[in-house]
Amino acid sequence: MSQFWSPLVHTLTPYVPGEQPKVNNLIKLNTNENPYPPSPNVLAEIKAQTGEQLKRYPDPNSDVLKQTIAQYHQLNSNQVFVGNGSDEVLAHAFQALLKHDKPLLFPDITYSFYPVYCGLYQIDYETIPLTDAFEINIPDYHQNSGGIIFPNPNAPTGRLLALDAIETLLQQHPNKVVLIDEAYIDFGGDFNTQSAVTLIKKYPNVLVVQTLSKSRSLAGIRVGFAMGNPNLIEALERVKNSFNSYPLDRLAIYGAKAAFEDEAYFQKTCQKIIQTRQNLTNTLQELGFQIIPSAANFLFVSHPNHPAEQLAHALREQAIIVRYFNKPRINQYLRISIGTNTENNQLCQVLQQVIEH
């Protein structure tokens, strides 16, 4: 508390990200990073851009990256917005598109940054409970609101909502923005039938946000993007250009571009994760875990006989970290990022010891 603080600051409850430990030798399955390295082409391109030109400002509009993403998703450049990680993109979207007189709607169990953004921008919101099976039930959103946002697949549950349900939602709410936060969509297995990107041409009210931090193994360079009608993109640009002219540095712009240009590596990595997710699911089920069906690069699991917090603690003692949320409805669950097969096996060995002990 301080006389120097703007009144708003006293009211904030900041987001707490998953731990980024500073020691090595940990098996890190707590923040849904990709267990595989970035494409070698990306690393080569970043090194190639690391020269005298870093004395110059980057392109404030990141045009080469927008063009690359647009081409990749068969859109125009003015349907693409880029930012310093999808968290920044989401922040701008909350301020630019989701702040209205009526409350914003999102699930009670979802990305826990959403209520934090609402605090920062003083946006009224209402949470809509997931079903007992942790599913989003579209009719529950059929009420007066200023906008709707949820991740698909949802986090931390991993559950995918079918595209026809999203299309119904867009049709039922033509006068408000529906933001689909697709941080994990590339792990669903069939982008073309699962991503709301395919709905952009038809619906002016859908904004799709994606990131390079998960499926493209680039959490370390901070690039996220939004796709939608040029009218929605313009609102984001106006806020961005009132906040920071140069959110993406030169290395991020060109590294991200190279990531989209190495489709083979991307596909191979995603397929490996989908495969190991299945292996891990099988093994955990054999250990008695109940597992929410996941279309993401993590599993949301609980064990009928072992409290989740104790399991997280036992794993931590063996240098394996997973995410535990001490929150209503989900405090008996662990969110476990999909690691390599070796990492997953070590996880299962420790869990087996705890459970059979």
Which residues in 106-135 contact a copy of itself (CB under 8 A)?
116-117, 119-120
Candidates 249, 276, 284, 294: give the one binding a copy of itself (CB under 8 A): 249
Q: Does 238 bind a copy of itself (CB under 8 A)?
A: yes
Counting every residue written for the chain, the total comes to 357
Q: Does 272 bind a copy of itself (CB under 8 A)?
A: no
Candidates 66, 75, 80, 95: give the one binding a copy of itself (CB under 8 A): 95
Q: Does 35 bind a copy of itself (CB under 8 A)?
A: yes
**Cα 45 to Cα 47: distance, rounded to the nearest angstrom:** 5
Q: CB 174 → a copy of itself: shortest distance, Å?
A: 10
Q: Does 87 bind a copy of itself (CB under 8 A)?
A: yes
208 or 311: whose CB is closer to a copy of itself? Answer: 208
Q: Does 273 bind a copy of itself (CB under 8 A)?
A: no
E strand map for 30-161 = 80-83, 104-107, 125-128, 147-151
Query: Residue 181: left if φ>0, alpha if ψ -120 to 50, beta else—which one?
Result: beta
Candidates 251, 287, 314, 319: give the one binding a copy of itself (CB under 8 A): 251
8 A C-beta contact, residue 208 and residue 197: yes
Q: Considering only residues 204-233, where is the footprint of a copy of itself by CB under 8 A?
A: 204-205, 213, 217-222, 231-232
| Secondary structure class of 276 (helix, strand, coil) | helix
**DSSP characters for 311-339?**
HHHHHHHTTEE-EE--STTTTT-EEEE--
Q: Who contacts 355 (Cβ-Cβ below 8 Å, separation ≥6)?
A: 287, 288, 303, 305, 306
Q: Considering only residues 128-187, where is the footprint of a copy of itself by CB under 8 A?
A: 175-177
Candidates 135, 167, 237, 309: give the one binding a copy of itself (CB under 8 A): 237
Name the one range near a copy of itself by CB under 8 A: 41-49, 152-160, 311-319, 349-357. 41-49
Q: Considering only residues 303-332, where is the footprint of a copy of itself by CB under 8 A?
A: none
Give 66-75's long-range contacts (Cβ < 8 A, gap of 24+): 68/256, 68/257, 68/260, 68/261, 69/225, 69/227, 69/260, 72/260, 73/197, 73/227, 75/197, 75/200, 75/227
Q: Does 79 bind a copy of itself (CB under 8 A)?
A: no
Q: CB 117 → a copy of itself: shortest distance, Å?
A: 7
Count of beta carbons in the 10 Å neighbourhood of residue 148: 22
Candidates 250, 257, 306, 323: give the one binding a copy of itself (CB under 8 A): 250
Q: Does 54 bind a copy of itself (CB under 8 A)?
A: yes
Q: CB 354 → a copy of itself: shortest distance, Å?
A: 27
